[in-house]
Amino acid sequence: MSDDVLERWLVEAAGVLGVEAPDAAARAAVLDLARDVAHNVARPGAPLTAFLLGVAVGRGADLRRSREELSRLATPSE
């Protein structure tokens, strides 16, 4: 999917939901978290964890801090 297609999709989807489309930093944070969960926990966990992150952020949690905590939780200790 090209960046233009993704950007248009996010703007349109955000409009339908009555929220702002995520900026580049937010998109990167969610995609990084989804990658960590999909590779280290289970693929179906990626969208579900992204949903949980969205709920938390919607309730006032800090996106960056929350993503970092969840990524640490999903990434096995070495």
**pLDDT value of position 78:** 58
User: Where are the domains positioned within the chain?
Assistant: 22-78
Residue 44: what residue type?
P
Name the nearest CA neighbour of 70 among 19, 35, 43: 35
- List, for residues 30-46, the tens digit of each pLDDT value: 999 999 999 999 999 99
**pLDDT value of position 25:** 95
Cβ atoms of residues 31 and 70 within 8 Å: no
What is the pLDDT averaged over residues 2-17?
A: 94
Its pTM surpasses 0.85: yes
**pLDDT value of position 57:** 96
Query: What percentage of the chain exceeds 90 in pLDDT?
Result: 92
**pLDDT value of position 54:** 96
Q: In angstroms, how far apart are the furthest CA atoms of the chain?
A: 43
